[in-house]
Structure 1
């Protein structure tokens, strides 16, 4: 993926999160906190696990492949959102992680 595509993904992700903030304000009188976002991410991460189990045929669930694809995308979206809210450049964080990990091998 080239840099421009990732920049566009980040932009789209943050725009979607802003729309959710607007719904939260209407429903709850305020935006979710960073902690609430992290908890929502963890819930979705757990659902990835269940859908992987279904993919591996160790958990019975119909139509889990489509849900697995959706939840994998959603988890990436959450990581972009969490990084932004924590003031972390996700591109830089990923590059640092990859560089550090590559050096291990």
Structure 2
């Protein structure tokens, strides 16, 4: 899409902003799902889509910044578990 509409690939910064936009939409869809924000339509499928899209964006961002997201997640989970036990 980026090539079609802009003639070049987005920068990492633009990808990060796209992720943040989608994360904000997750917030709104969550509020609707919890009956705290009015919205029409099929919010469950939209929320599922946006949650999945945010996960995809995080993977893309990690790859573009040369971060092994699987290793980073494992380190984070190990550290967090240790903090919860201590």
Of residues 42, 45, 65, the one that matches 2:23 is 45
How many residues align? The count is 83
Q: Which has the higher helix share?
A: 1
**Runs ≥4 in structure 1, deviation > 4 angstroms?**
none
Offset of 1:27 from its aligned partner? 2.2
Offset of 1:60 from its aligned partner? 1.0
Please give the root-mean-square deviation of Cα atoms over the aligned residues, in Å.
0.8
2:78 alignment partner in structure 1: 99
Offset of 1:25 from its aligned partner? 2.0
1:67 alignment partner in structure 2: 46
> Is 1:79 aligned with 2:66?
no
TM-score normalised to structure 1 length: 0.76
2:68 alignment partner in structure 1: 89
TM-score normalised to structure 2 length: 0.92
